Structure 1
């Protein structure tokens, strides 16, 4: 590759790549060094066309095939590493360029990648195989090459998405250091680092394996392929609704919510999603969270509410959540989100004598009545009021708020909450900042009265009125505490992270290096990170199965969480955010 005459260099490289998979045993001692260097090039220059044009894909496909079918060769030297690097190289070069993906398909990379996806080696190779196949399935030109194995690909991706966290825990994270597969440890840490670093990287790779499996399913679902197969299992839909992305993973990952939204665009998808109360509740939680993907949860619920065949199965669960969002204006590039929610909730409210409306739960009916009263009737009344009258109502509401504040300071919490309610009934809808403060204060009252549900509801309404949404620090902290009381760790963690983010941004640039993070918030993050550890459920299952035989020995697996000082916990939290 350092040959000054580029034509001679390219010819030599092409010949070498063509014969690399048929090297004699005496000649392939250093093969891993060559492949690892090719991997570095693919990682750093994935858009460079030199190696793809010289036969890199055919070479990597041949090496994967040889690894799978020639076990004696695989265990010689360091050939055990080659399938991982080969699949990673294919994925890196097909990540950005459709023309490289087409060249890879022509070179026959799909069948060997399918072998790795089937688990012919281990979860480490499955991770890079599903990544590469996901890139190939993303392009129109190469989708059909993956779709040749459509049913098998979909079933394998579903199984991986649901079980990969448990699998990785059982075969790696939950194993003592001495029993871990050596080449897995070396790949995870590049040969540098102990068990703690291995655990941390295993968390990252397991989550990537899950996210890339869901991405592969997205490629089929967006083309309305295999929807029946994806929706067939209610257990899988339940798992999907619990695969959060956004704040809890990274900004590029959408978790399972994007696939659920794609399913909700199709009739068969809505029919199956609406059957599971658990899935609907998880969608509601996302829609009422501070997660970056909040809008996707709202989209799913609106699609289900607009379908007459699923509306009344969903409205029973969703109303109490969505009524808190009706004053929401914009999320990202979506405008008037609260108006869309209002229309979806009360689209048939005028027909109150209909049998379906009468049969709804009284809590749901009260939520619909509140939505109608606030967004339709009250707005209509205030629209015809003069500016002087609206200003007068605003002044009165401020006076009542002062009374509420005095009640709160005196420890008369119930009386203060009632006064804040009176404020909200008086204050015109257009004064959003004042209304946000009133909701936030009432939420604090509910928290002190040990009513976390009402505290969450009011804090959510305050956050919808803030500009931008989810930026009212006091409400975020109140809701984080309320979620903690209800043991909703994910939601509590996200609100706490957002709270810290808002506090940090509120400081001037000159003072940013002196920002002091509240100790109580750091403690909350530490607690919730432990509760949301991705291997937590797998660890509990392993404990249950081994306790039967009396062999369980406590292994936290949480060294990166509970043994670190709070400064390190905060660093990890900031990385998540």
Structure 2
């Protein structure tokens, strides 16, 4: 009965996924079906033993026969695997061996692959393998015993297209994540690691060149378009879905590398400086919030001595870790973890201390962050490790002074435990008086004098008065902004956000740090802070309709364009457009197929057989599982519609 319920769920999907002629043919065949190996008839069999026997025969017969309905069977199996990945029925009946044979058939028989709708079959076969091995180690063992790794490796090598590479790297990542099946993947260790590194580094450019950058829809592969949008979307929807899939391809490639890095395997390959430099740009984008991308791999590398040594030598990685640690990114804690691991290793400590000390000092008063508590204390302890020795080794006087300040801060915290409530209240009144003076001179336009007054107030303010100190740091950040000093503005804004409760929740500081990051050209960090600022505005709204400040909406629009997943690929293509125009002017016109830019042999054959593919029916693809429907999307739409210029409203942001 359970299988009968599943087939009832499949039927609507099959109906949606086929043309009207195909539906009519299916109905006629359903009424007079005499094929004992018909998958759909066997699924409807009420006798469980007969149903299992029939499905077992189906899985044996499908790779050996050529039937137009096989693609419908595969799409149905994909739907079942995605919705019931822990159900042991199909894995126990030989589905993995069937999928492996189908992938091989597509790779070895290209005439068959390009006939009817068979182009979809290798994609769905690899997707079924990945879905069933996602949660269950025993299913992964069955898959390996059924010989799925060699055909998946062929897809990973790019024998068809990037769409099949996406599901192949996903399936191999699941297989490599289990102890008992890891060794089967590691048979191809060097090749797998090199391919995953290459995919992670180049997949965005490839997807842009082969799909997103192809503005003439007729020149995009039809079955790619159908898979991406279920055959009912326009070019905008195709681009949006392609962005999601490209992000997944990159993140799943990094996940496959994680499986080797956590076992300290192939670190000599993964830790190449050229790859670490590329890794910094692999942040997943807003379309793949579930993956820590580069930060997750770097943290795993930091758990090993060899990895820490390589990370400490990468200037780009250290800079990105420092920026991540002072951001409102979900993976902020990973950046802090990596920096602490580098600081507590005596071999890497003095290689990175001068580069990261000022960044971590701003986080010394950080309380809880997610499920981590007392992070500020851990940071202070790591910074002051071997404090006297550090003062002798460090040549930078600014860093020496900063460490001295953090040492004094720690001592002052102990002393304040003895301050009486009466004394504390007197200090609060005094601090407020100085702050009011600072506010007054600020509004008179004396920014430097206001900055000095806020600094004076901070010197008088006890550490226990966290809210008052948060406001002072935030107001001082505003002064730094007006004085065009973004580094100091980021430092003060970060300190204010560490003092907020919960951390990173003070809206004014978020907006000020977003502006400061924008001044420095750090679009991703600016975007994250601006999104958090807008979310805070929405939560603070008393009505259902919240008015978003247009200057924040414009900032979102600006930074989303700068951080678009394909922005780098787009700039490369744009820079090479002049060369192509010159070639065209000289009469060196390329063919329509070549305009898709560097397709592989399989892709060229698909374009040559374009007429065969043009009639492919729509196949339903999985829902957008990884995209969080956030309010920032509406904000971006609002920003893009706005015709007003972006005006810095620094003076209009009220001080607390």
Q: Does 1:188 align with 2:223?
A: no
Q: Does 1:291 align with 2:333?
A: no
Q: Secondary structure at the match of 1:325?
A: coil
Aligned residue among 511, 529, 540 for 1:477: 511
> Quick one: structure 1 residues 552 and 169, their matched pair in 2 at CA, closer, same or farther if it must change by over 3 Å?
farther
Structure 2 counterpart of 1:531: 562
Once the two structures are superposed, residues 235-261 of structure 1 have per-residue CA deviations (whole angstroms, 9 ceiling, x without a partner) of 11122223224x734442111111101
Q: Does 1:211 align with 2:251?
A: yes
Q: Secondary structure at the match of 1:542?
A: helix
Q: Does 1:7 align with 2:7?
A: no
Structure 2 counterpart of 1:540: 571
Number of equivalenced pairs: 550
Q: Does 1:569 align with 2:600?
A: no
Structure 2 counterpart of 1:277: 315
Say whether the 8 Å CA contact 2:276–2:317 is kept in structure 1. yes
Separation in structure 2 between the aligned mates of residue 325 and residue 338 of structure 1, nearest angstrom? 6
Say whether the 8 Å CA contact 1:526–1:566 is kept in structure 2. no
- Write out aligned runs for 1:234-245 (5 A): 234-245=273-284
Once the two structures are superposed, residues 265-304 of structure 1 have per-residue CA deviations (whole angstroms, 9 ceiling, x without a partner) of 1110011111111110011010110001101001111111
Q: Which has the larger radius of gyration?
A: 2
Once the two structures are superposed, residues 472-511 of structure 1 have per-residue CA deviations (whole angstroms, 9 ceiling, x without a partner) of 0010011111111211110011001111122222345xx3
Runs of at least 5 residues in structure 2 that lack an aligned partner in the other structure:
1-42, 585-631, 641-656
Structure 2 counterpart of 1:556: none
Structure with more relative contact order (C-alpha pairs < 8 Å, separation 6 or more): 2
Q: Secondary structure at the match of 1:450?
A: coil
> Quick one: structure 1 residues 78 and 404, their matched pair in 2 at CA, closer, same or farther if it must change by over 3 Å?
same
Structure 2 counterpart of 1:141: 180
Give, in angstroms, the shift of residue 220 of structure 1. Answer: 1.2
Structure 2 counterpart of 1:364: 399
Say whether the 8 Å CA contact 2:553–2:635 is kept in structure 1. no
> Quick one: structure 1 residues 492 and 215, their matched pair in 2 at CA, closer, same or farther if it must change by over 3 Å?
same
Give, in angstroms, the shift of residue 568 of structure 1. Answer: 6.5
Moved more, 338-347 or 198-207: 338-347
Give, in angstroms, the shift of residue 571 of structure 1. Answer: 8.6
Aligned residue among 125, 136, 161 for 2:200: 161
- Write out aligned runs for 1:40-189 (5 A): 40-176=79-215, 177-189=217-229
Q: Secondary structure at the match of 2:182?
A: helix
Separation in structure 1 between the aligned mates of residue 289 and residue 541 of structure 2, nearest angstrom? 24
Separation in structure 2 between the aligned mates of residue 406 and residue 568 of structure 1, nearest angstrom? 34
Say whether the 8 Å CA contact 1:60–1:90 is kept in structure 2. yes
Moved more, 248-257 or 193-202: 248-257
Separation in structure 1 between the aligned mates of residue 203 and residue 420 of structure 2, nearest angstrom? 62
Say whether the 8 Å CA contact 2:477–2:492 is kept in structure 1. yes
Separation in structure 1 between the aligned mates of residue 475 and residue 95 of structure 2, nearest angstrom? 63
Q: Does 1:315 align with 2:357?
A: no
When the two structures are superposed, what TM-score results if normalisation uses the length of structure 1? 0.92
Say whether the 8 Å CA contact 1:17–1:59 is kept in structure 2. yes
Structure 1 counterpart of 2:11: none
Q: Secondary structure at the match of 2:553?
A: helix
> Quick one: structure 1 residues 547 and 316, their matched pair in 2 at CA, closer, same or farther if it must change by over 3 Å?
farther
Q: Secondary structure at the match of 1:371?
A: helix
Separation in structure 2 between the aligned mates of residue 312 and residue 570 of structure 1, nearest angstrom? 47
Q: Secondary structure at the match of 1:515?
A: coil
